[in-house]
Structure 1
């Protein structure tokens, strides 16, 4: 099976080029080329970054994701964190409870809606994220080093465009049932 397009800049390497046969097949003979590439890159990033944070701070990936989110934009609701993550609501809820218990985040009344709560980083939580960011940035730079600055910009723009369109994506791959 061939992809629906041909990439003139990236030709399939010879069998002896150093890629494992299945990796080569997933790159050049895969009808789901985008999901493979995005998942492979994300896994290569995650495998490199999160084990060190877990070792140093005894935090799971979803807990790191919560404090990282709050470092980017403090004062978020749990729902906002769920919406921007790949984790289900119950996983984020458990992570939040762990982080509150460890005093890495705190729950505060939302100033705009006194009936709601927002999450805020504590100084201890800020220190962990600030320590974690440099190795994350280093890994990302390493991964992007195969691309020119113009290609990096293009990748950024294209992935951003896809993510901005994500609210229009179907929730399920299952065919919609027709009313009887």
Structure 2
């Protein structure tokens, strides 16, 4: 039988780490948003693809992958899922027969503002207790961390 011997080494607790609290909040915010977009028939990853296409009109899959910080394989699977849901369309590139171009369908384009409103409402639900100045400071701190560490992948899920 092992005895419970006190350690002389000081070990920080989980709650002493900022990363713990960031993950704790992020998991809750993300899970609730995932539930909300699932009710609209899409995943968070699909929403990210649709939101990027909303701004770019049409893109090659490799450009889309770069824009969201994913590799070609996972983006291809997302494209296939969105094609099956008729939220995006694909066509051959005009000058490169091997390349494809993807774009939102009219139904996909109409869905993006609704999903964006869900994202806004989700943020409001979780962060309404902060003043605008506090929210600005949080975003500024997170953007600084992204910049300092050269982070580029868009949070997908």
Question: Shared fold (TM-score greater than 0.5)?
Answer: yes
The yes-or-no answer on 1:26 pairing with 2:41 is: no
The residue correspondences of 1:14-163 to structure 2 (distance < 5 A) are: 26-27=14-15, 29-30=16-17, 33-34=18-19, 36-57=20-41, 59-85=42-68, 88-108=71-91, 114-115=95-96, 116-163=99-146
The runs of 5 or more residues in structure 1 that have no matched partner are: 3-24, 170-180
CA 1:149–1:52: 2 relative to 1, 3 Å: closer
SS at match of 1:118: strand
Choose between structure 1 and 2 for higher RCO, CA contacts under 8 A separated by at least 6 residues: 2
Superposed displacement of residue 124, structure 1? 0.7
Is the contact between residue 36 and residue 118 of structure 2 (CA under 8 Å) also seen in structure 1?
A: no
What RMSD in Å do the two structures reach over aligned CA positions?
2.9
SS at match of 1:82: helix
Separation in 2, partners of 1:83, 1:92: 10
Is the contact between residue 78 and residue 119 of structure 1 (CA under 8 Å) also seen in structure 2?
A: yes
Moved over 4 A (4+): 108-111
TM-score, normalising length from structure 2?
0.69
Separation in 2, partners of 1:167, 1:117: 30
TM-score, normalising length from structure 1?
0.62
Superposed displacement of residue 85, structure 1? 3.8
Superposed displacement of residue 87, structure 1? 5.2
Separation in 1, partners of 2:45, 2:151: 26
SS at match of 1:56: coil
- Greater share of helix: 2
The runs of 5 or more residues in structure 2 that have no matched partner are: 1-10, 153-157
